[in-house]
Structure 1
């Protein structure tokens, strides 16, 4: 494809969106900071000094990627395990980098591998993301969501939702690994008692569970539209496939920038739902 973009074949083989592939391609570990800031940086707040859980002063200091081994079934021979056993190629077991915590883990690994600090552009993205969390917290706090999709995506989304104050009351997947609840317990231990975890689930299972859960929104791919319509709540489209909207292949949810887009989408969806159902028309928050 002209311009160095991902080819259709690459997208099909990966099962990921074009935006996800491009995210991986554009990652840079550059020891030299950007000489000039972007003009856009002056229009958004930035909280760059909020500590990472992996950095000095942060909660959970010293907990690195090795703590994430729960994501790997020790009884299964994976490519990563084979490379380590045969050639001593390091095997880092990580979840999808969605949200601040999981992306911090991801960049921590890149720093460890490269021996270089995270470039300032990503630190700035992180700061803007945290600033937006503060600004919009009052709109999303204690909202309740149904989350579904591939198991790794559901785990990453649950971690992200817990950061912003949304309770993922139903976490469902058609996967049959049997480890979804175990992994969720490790990622969101404080919320697991409030989550109904559904392995090998379909939308009928989710609809039955949702009747007593009072969810505010559904988060997943386009196949959940009928569930959202039945419940009378909005659907935030994430994952694959998205075939009832234009540009699904360009929706990024990985990294700080992807989390920013997803956070804005979720917040604005909730605001639009409240505004549309209000008896009094208003145009200011």
Structure 2
């Protein structure tokens, strides 16, 4: 077995108080981050890592397990461990709901997908009337019935988020908002056409590990967290006209905001 190239992974530090298997994880992670192993590349085999670091096979397996839990690599039975490919990064910008985009007939997702040079798609669309959960009802000022619009978003055929919009039924029933395709600019454009000029949005964002259903829906690799964002849209009269509950694959997004200093 040929030794690994000098400098590819480096050597362990015998004086370090960091556990050996974590040092190996650090070396492999650094090699991936610096592009020594690119997306789709196969990592050195367990036997090669055992020989290179002079450790046991179990130590190597513990190291690889950590990388897999972080979502950096995936294991293919009988083939090896490979650097996992990631979906295109989409910048979640603070101006994504600017009126100028709606006036151009573009939804926020379309605008940002184009900015990333990716092809946007929407699938798994469901539109129905229902009674909202208590937290959604409270955000909508006590609404008892809503129109719920559920959809999954994809970039270049890879799912990156799914979202549910809840609109008070008295605003949405018998309008284009209740149609599968609400038209250019999306539901916000339709709300403004109905006289509900949007004033501002409140957003709450947190990171967490996904549920089994979310892993399946977004096809998440092991160890990849999600970004859970809840947005409430208010019109100029101060009424909440929509709540959007969104779950996003965290490795597909960068949150980018401009904040005034005054």
Query: Which structure ranks higher in relative contact order (CA pairs < 8 Å, sequence separation ≥ 6)?
Result: 1
Larger radius of gyration: 2
TM-score by length of 2: 0.21
| Structure 1 or 2: more helix by fraction | 1
